[in-house]
Chain A
Amino acid sequence: EDQVTQSPEALRLQEGESSSLNCSYTVSGLRGLFWYRQDPGKGPEFLFTLYSAGEEKEKERLKATLTKKESFLHITAPKPEDSATYLCAAFDSNYQLIWGAGTKLIIKP
């Protein structure tokens, strides 16, 4: 069964303390892996799309990478405004979008 698992469920960091969020997937015929950021009470905001192993994308303090089994969202020198829930999702070979449960990131000043 296709599955997307995110870890950790929650992560507390001090401002400036870099870390990574993990998204491991078992999806047949991956058609794309997506990262979103969601603030409380709002819809998810698109961050990155990755299509093939080895691909990397960056945006400000965030960098997403993809291997054949997992994706990482690296956050460098985070600020309190980076606090949010980060979601990943994968399109399988039938173009069904499989969602992870998310990682709640808290950055303390």
Chain B
Amino acid sequence: KAGVTQTPRYLIKTRGQQVTLSCSPISGHRSVSWYQQTPGQGLQFLFEYFSETQRNKGNFPGRFSGRQFSNSRSEMNVSTLELGDSALYLCASSSTGDGNTIYFGEGSWLTVV
């Protein structure tokens, strides 16, 4: 059974640009969550989608947005990139998200220069 797949794995962007990251969940999983991880901050919850609807949202500015498609695949977008957005962005999926185990992808490393 394929795991959570994230693309791209690495990318470098310039301040002010925007970026879109993609996540394909485990087959049959309908909940997708996104996290930001930096060395000093640990795992920070961005948002969670279930059946194409944003169900939970973390404390991030509006520059961070996401969406989920009917096949459960998800994308997150960061607009007007800042240097502080450099981080590992992790996608995780679970069957329903309601207390079920979540499984992570390998992450997308974003460097903003």
Contact = CB atoms under 8 A, between A and B. Distances in A.
Contact of A34 (B88, B101, B105, B107): B101
A41 B89 CA distance: 11
Query: What class of interface size applies to chain A in its complex with B?
Result: 20 to 34
Nearest to B96: A95
A101 B38 CA distance: 11
A100 B109 CA distance: 22
Contact of A31 (B92, B99, B102, B107): B99
Interface residues of B, number: 20
A41 B105 CA distance: 11
A49 interface: yes
A64 interface: no
Contacts of A34: 101-102
B58 to A, nearest CB: 10
B88 A46 contact: no
A49 B94 CA distance: 13
A36 B105 CA distance: 13
B42 interface: yes
Contact of B107 (A42, A49, A91, A100): A42
A23 interface: no
Instruction: Pick the most buried of A42, A87, A95, A100: most chain B CB atoms within 10 A of its CB.
Output: A95
B42 A101 contact: yes
B104 A43 contact: yes
Interface string A43-82: 1111001000000000000000000000000000000000
A43 B99 contact: no
Contacts of A91: 99
Interface of A: 31-32, 34, 36, 41-46, 49, 87, 91, 95-97, 99-102
